[in-house]
A = this chain, B = another copy of it.
Amino acid sequence: MSSSKVLRSKSVVRESYHHGDLQAALLEAAVNLVRANGPDHLSLRAVAEQVGVSPSAVYHYFPDKDSLISELGDQLFIQMAVMQREALGNIPGNSARAARLRYRELGRTYFRWANSEPNLFRLMFGGFCKIEKGGTHESEEAFLMLSKCLDELLSTGVITPTMRRYGELISWSAVQGASTLIIEGILPEAAFEELLDGLELAMRGGAK
């Protein structure tokens, strides 16, 4: 559908065009408004106005408002994967200790994202972006990073082979769920580090 999908900081290409790269500009305006007002309460007209364009111009790039939001969600998944990759890059080494640090940091990055931008997190997981059930999703990359991290935990003897089987499922679900429960105010913020402790113990499979 669209050629350039990654959010750019400003509109760079073709300064004196009709508007420049409008698709990106619209998405950037939209992400700011969602960040401030929540995924519901997003107004197409406000998006258009902030870009300095007529409301109807939006319909040249998105069939309707929901599609804009959905596309925005896809970009947020990509952005999240980038953050995960950066977080992993800060923790080098092949030791068991390094693998454990990476595991925790993956979860922490996930939660930090949710907690610092709850409205964007809600956009991603609140049914706003329609995800086709068969195809491959943008979240695939984050999933693969987690898988690799779990492989390291297994090969360094931190986790048991049995628990390795359930590693992605339990880790991702728990981190996702805790993030939701915390940003919605049901669990306190301190619960997340506690969850990571428990999760590590559980995955090690030796807690008496």
Contacts and interface: CB of A to CB of B under 8 A. Distances in A.
Interface of A: 38-40, 118-119, 122, 125-128, 131-133, 137, 139, 160-163, 165-166, 169-170, 172-181, 183-187, 191, 194-195, 197-199, 201-203, 205-208
A170 to B, nearest CB: 5
Contacts of A170: 174, 195, 198-199, 202
Contacts of A197: 166
Contacts of A160: 207-208
B128 A186 contact: no
Given A166-B201, A199-B170, A127 B131 contact: no
A199 to B, nearest CB: 7
A108 B189 CA distance: 26
A125 B180 contact: yes
A178 B173 contact: yes
Given A125-B180, A205-B206, A208-B205, A198 B131 contact: no
B126 A185 contact: no
14 contacts: A122-B126, A125-B181, A131-B184, A160-B207, A160-B208, A162-B207, A169-B178, A169-B198, A170-B199, A173-B177, A176-B177, A176-B178, A180-B180, A201-B205
A162 B208 contact: yes
B176 A180 contact: yes
Contacts of A127: 38, 118-119, 122, 126, 183-184
Nearest to A179: B177
A159 to B, nearest CB: 9
Given A201-B163, A202-B166, A186 B137 contact: yes
Given A127-B118, A128-B40, A173 B181 contact: yes
Given A122-B126, A170-B202, 14 more contacts: A38-B127, A40-B40, A40-B128, A126-B127, A127-B184, A137-B186, A162-B207, A163-B207, A169-B195, A170-B174, A173-B195, A174-B177, A176-B178, A176-B181
